Homo-oligomer: A and B are copies of this chain.
């Protein structure tokens, strides 16, 4: 491979080769994991290329193919698994210059890969009163393409499930990495080949997403003296068909008082909390429901002054991996896990077994139609061995772990690769230069597709059905 020859074919497409800037742009938020931090800290590309159109993306991929230069696509770089880190060097493909909303209809939006999620919602709210069904807590920075290639769900998943579900992505346009790159419009089942594939099998340049009705969601924080009461309340809220909510997350003490600094005036010492986003139409009923559950409604976003509100982060920036981020800012020995607890009794068991070594944080989501405890517990990290032990304790007690301390698709446990996906990669990236090192099935021809246990994005050969 020759980077120089590759670069010479890019015409006036913006390039950046200042090593410090390139290294900065070669990172995502992998450093939430001490394991990934040790492994990936030295990773860097040689150049950052920032195309401004699909035609320019084709130009980049044509040159990359010709000269065998590794291409790692990147949006805002807000992922946590090293998804967007260039293990083999080469070029970072920065898509943030392609940030246009292309079309808004009453129930859907089409945008370029680099469109920032919050900015998209701003446009769709104004145009048709709609917003994305769900978004990560990095809403204000994260881009659409990066979310689809490296995310799974987030704020709103308590109602709408995740990206893995049929109907959560309406269409994708990708560019293949061949001698003559092609634009492919993926629909239906084909979408799942590319969703959460870290850009290993085609570069997402556009996506069409369904819109949900937009509301002026009201942030609420409800305190409980006992974490398990918070967890039970959170589950009950999600099971209330008449209460429209976008976010429900129980966080055990001492997370709130130790890490939610700006909200401290509202929090009570020793309390666990449930973070809520509630549609205005459900606020009165939620207040009643909180009182039924003997919760303390310690914070209501619709009852603080505008000035106060500007000072406070929105509740979603206390939730999902922002919980971990806030903890890390206070105590850099903290890390986290991604888990799934089959029932509240599983939550109780792990909570009681691991105590303050695993400050519990759960995101209530819907998975396959059922209210589910998706855990994002903090971990007071001591060693990689102990982290593995904590994972084993989960598994031995019937709880799933999606390991966020792995950078390959397969080891993370979120995305199952299978023969169809591998075939698609052969078609879209015959030289294997798209984000190399991330798909084990590609590197290892003997890879067992049935390795691993649970998958959030299941393979394409089966469609999950209920009993």
Question: Please, how many angstroms separate the alpha-carbon atoms of A312 and B293 in the complex?
Answer: 48
| Cβ of A243 under 8 Å from chain B | yes
| Cβ of A371 under 8 Å from chain B | yes
B-chain residues with CB within 8 Å of residue A343 when the two chains form the complex: 467
Contact A108/B240 with A232-B466, A465-B232, A465-B293 known, Cβ cut-off 8 Å: no
Residue of B nearest to A106 (CB): B129
- The answer to whether B288 touches A239, judged by C-beta atoms less than 8 angstroms apart, is no
Question: Please, how many angstroms separate the alpha-carbon atoms of A240 and B367 in the complex?
Answer: 8
Beta-carbon contacts under 8 Å, A323-354 to B:
343-344
- The answer to whether B466 touches A235, judged by C-beta atoms less than 8 angstroms apart, is yes
Question: Given B235, B463, B467, which contacts A344 in the complex, CB threshold below 8 Å?
Answer: B467
B-chain residues with CB within 8 Å of residue A19 when the two chains form the complex: none
The smallest C-beta distance from A12 to any residue of chain B, in angstroms, reads 39
B-chain residues with CB within 8 Å of residue A301 when the two chains form the complex: none
B-chain residues with CB within 8 Å of residue A279 when the two chains form the complex: 107
Contact A292/B463 with A108-B281, A284-B170 known, Cβ cut-off 8 Å: yes
Question: Please, how many angstroms separate the alpha-carbon atoms of A31 and B212 in the complex?
Answer: 42
| Cβ of A53 under 8 Å from chain B | no
- The answer to whether B285 touches A166, judged by C-beta atoms less than 8 angstroms apart, is yes
B-chain residues with CB within 8 Å of residue A463 when the two chains form the complex: 289, 292
Question: Given B129, B210, B289, which contacts A281 in the complex, CB threshold below 8 Å?
Answer: B210
| Copies of this chain present | 2
Question: Given B129, B235, B280, B467, which contacts A232 in the complex, CB threshold below 8 Å?
Answer: B467
- The answer to whether B239 touches A160, judged by C-beta atoms less than 8 angstroms apart, is no
Question: Please, how many angstroms separate the alpha-carbon atoms of A288 and B165 in the complex?
Answer: 12
The smallest C-beta distance from A128 to any residue of chain B, in angstroms, reads 8
| Cβ of A226 under 8 Å from chain B | no
B-chain residues with CB within 8 Å of residue A189 when the two chains form the complex: 288
The smallest C-beta distance from A288 to any residue of chain B, in angstroms, reads 5
Count, chain A residues at interface, CB 8 A: 54
- The answer to whether A165 touches B107, judged by C-beta atoms less than 8 angstroms apart, is no
- The answer to whether B232 touches A367, judged by C-beta atoms less than 8 angstroms apart, is no
- The answer to whether B167 touches A242, judged by C-beta atoms less than 8 angstroms apart, is yes
| Cβ of A238 under 8 Å from chain B | yes
- The answer to whether A285 touches B232, judged by C-beta atoms less than 8 angstroms apart, is no
| Cβ of A145 under 8 Å from chain B | no
B-chain residues with CB within 8 Å of residue A465 when the two chains form the complex: 232, 236, 292-293
Question: Please, how many angstroms separate the alpha-carbon atoms of A189 and B170 in the complex?
Answer: 41
Question: Please, how many angstroms separate the alpha-carbon atoms of A242 and B133 in the complex?
Answer: 9
- The answer to whether B281 touches A107, judged by C-beta atoms less than 8 angstroms apart, is yes
Question: Given B167, B188, B286, which contacts A282 in the complex, CB threshold below 8 Å?
Answer: B167
Contact A166/B239 with A107-B279, A232-B467, A371-B369 known, Cβ cut-off 8 Å: no
| Cβ of A213 under 8 Å from chain B | yes
The smallest C-beta distance from A120 to any residue of chain B, in angstroms, reads 16
Residue of B nearest to A159 (CB): B241
Question: Please, how many angstroms separate the alpha-carbon atoms of A167 and B466 in the complex?
Answer: 29
- The answer to whether B244 touches A167, judged by C-beta atoms less than 8 angstroms apart, is yes
- The answer to whether B285 touches A243, judged by C-beta atoms less than 8 angstroms apart, is no
Question: Please, how many angstroms separate the alpha-carbon atoms of A282 and B212 in the complex?
Answer: 12
Point out residues on A near B: beta carbons under 8 Å: 106-108, 129, 159-162, 165-168, 170, 187-189, 210-213, 215, 232, 235-236, 238-244, 279-282, 284-286, 288-289, 292-293, 343-344, 366-371, 463, 465-467
In the complex, 29 of the A-B residue pairs with CB atoms within 8 angstroms, ordered by the A residue number, are A107-B215, A107-B281, A161-B242, A166-B242, A166-B285, A167-B244, A167-B282, A167-B285, A167-B286, A170-B281, A187-B284, A188-B288, A210-B242, A210-B244, A213-B213, A232-B465, A232-B466, A232-B467, A235-B466, A236-B466, A239-B369, A239-B466, A240-B368, A241-B367, A292-B463, A292-B465, A293-B465, A343-B467, A370-B370
